[in-house]
């Protein structure tokens, strides 16, 4: 016997795909919500078959990209195109906050949520860090800005504020990023900045935030020590001798 709920959900998803192609001015999340919402009133059998937007969005966004003629696998950052609603937050704001180029005309993207400006304006201690192990292949690293909002001895309140996709790890690129973020959020005035021991990042912070206290992060300091211990071949001695 056919599963009526499953069939109707599939039909709704096909309608979503068609609308994603035909109604390019309507955000894909909105289309999904409009088409699937009425099924929630039909009982548990239907609700159990309705997928989440995050699990259903890939084919819908694929149809939208095709309709817009967007490049699916761009070779470099400057070729990346975003559909109007690809990065839309549920409140209607765009997750992509800044899109600009550095001194070498390489693209920089900065992403943030609806509370990003509030976090920058109200935080006093910020944690900055870069990673090259994740992110899009068209960029060299993701650089994150986290903020400590009144943490206590018993409770840690650290929140992500911004995520930047950077083309390289040069000082000029860090400076360009900080300058654009400050233009976007003019009230961002960190009291304390903690970051890893990368000279280019530290120097750019000192130039762009001269009144801030800048220090290395203990976590990254310990990582540096451990790498040096490995480099010197002292792992066994380190584990054996507790006085080291």
pLDDT tens by residue, 16-26: 999 999 998 88
Q: State yes or no: pLDDT of 1 exceeds 60.
A: no
Handedness of CA 130, 136, 137, 139 (dihedral sign): negative
Distance CA 82, CA 96 (A): 10
Q: Identify the band that residue 2 occupies on the pLDDT scale cut at 50, 70 and 90.
A: low
Are 124 and 100 contacting, i.e. CB atoms less than 8 angstroms apart?
no
pTM: 0.65
pLDDT at 152 over 70: yes
Token pair belonging to 65: 């990209």
Write down the residue that tokens 């109707």 correspond to.
8
Helix (H), strand (E) at residue 148: strand 141-148
Bridge-partner residues for 147, per DSSP?
Answer: 126, 159
| Per-residue pLDDT reduced to its tens digit, 25-64 | 888 889 999 999 888 888 888 888 889 988 888 899 888 8
Neighbouring residues of 130: CB distance < 8 A, sequence distance ≥ 6: 141, 142, 143, 144, 166, 169, 196, 198, 201
pLDDT beyond 70 at 222: no
């Amino acid at each position: 016997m056919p599963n009526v709920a499953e069939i109707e959900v599939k039909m709704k998803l096909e309608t979503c795909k068609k609308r994603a192609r035909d109604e390019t001015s309507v955000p894909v999340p909105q289309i999904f919500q409009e088409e699937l919402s009425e099924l929630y009133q039909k009982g548990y059998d239907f609700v159990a078959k309705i997928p989440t937007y995050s699990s259903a969005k890939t084919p819908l966004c694929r149809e939208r990209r095709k309709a817009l003629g967007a490049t699916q696998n761009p070779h470099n950052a400057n070729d990346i195109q975003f559909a109007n609603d690809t990065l839309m937050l549920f409140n209607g704001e765009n997750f992509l906050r800044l899109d600009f180029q550095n001194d070498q005309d390489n693209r920089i993207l900065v992403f943030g949520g609806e509370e990003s400006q509030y976090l920058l304006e109200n935080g006093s201690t910020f944690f900055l860090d870069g990673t090259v192990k994740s992110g899009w292949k068209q960029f060299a690293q993701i650089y994150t800005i986290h903020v400590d909002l009144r943490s206590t001895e018993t409770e840690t309140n650290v929140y992500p504020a911004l995520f930047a996709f950077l083309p390289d790890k040069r000082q000029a690129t860090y400076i360009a990023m900080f300058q654009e973020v400050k233009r976007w959020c003019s009230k961002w005035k960190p009291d304390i900045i903690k970051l890893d021991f990368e000279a280019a990042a530290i120097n750019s912070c000192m130039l762009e935030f001269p009144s801030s206290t800048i220090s290395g992060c203990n976590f990254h300091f310990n990582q540096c020590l451990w790498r040096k211990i490995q480099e010197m071949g002292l792992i066994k001695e380190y584990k054996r001798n507790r006085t080291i």
